[in-house]
Amino acid sequence: QVRLVESGGGLVQTGGSLRLSCAVSGRTFSMYVMGWFRQAPGKDREFVGAISWSGDSALYADSVKDRFTISRDNAKNTVYLQMNSLKPEDTAVYYCAADRTTRTLRAERLEYDYWGQGTQVTVSS
């Protein structure tokens, strides 16, 4: 069974930074494409970004490009989301997800097989 546990959320002021972590159990972490999604109250869950199994390529939503960076440490079975220049509209529950099916970076949440429980990020104005 694969288990994903996010951490690092919290309250931050506009312009601040946070780094989220997602620890993944299981021996095949290095084979998964990992994604980050977020869901604000009353809105659908939306794609934030994804990183390849090797960590050498990433895909970002336009809304976070140049502000957020995804990285991974396969030795630690952990993926990270570094969030800089945060805005109030970044307020949401952030989820990490694992795609065990393909090596393609995908933005569609239905393509991901495993999900964490989420961590709250609140950006105050």
- For 110, the 3-state DSSP assignment is helix
Q: Euclidean distance between the first and final Cα of the chain, in Å?
A: 40
Which of the 8 DSSP states describes residue 25?
-
List residues bridging with 96 in a β-sheet: 36
CA angle 5, 97, 86 (to 5 degrees): 80
Amino acid 29: pLDDT? 83
Higher pLDDT, 102 or 64: 64
Q: Is the pLDDT of residue 81 over 80?
A: yes
Report pLDDT digits (tens) over 21-78. Answer: 999 997 788 889 999 999 999 999 999 999 999 999 999 999 999 999 999 999 999 9
Contacts of 79 by beta carbon, 8 Å cutoff, 6+ apart = 21, 22, 24, 34, 36, 51, 70, 71, 72, 73, 96
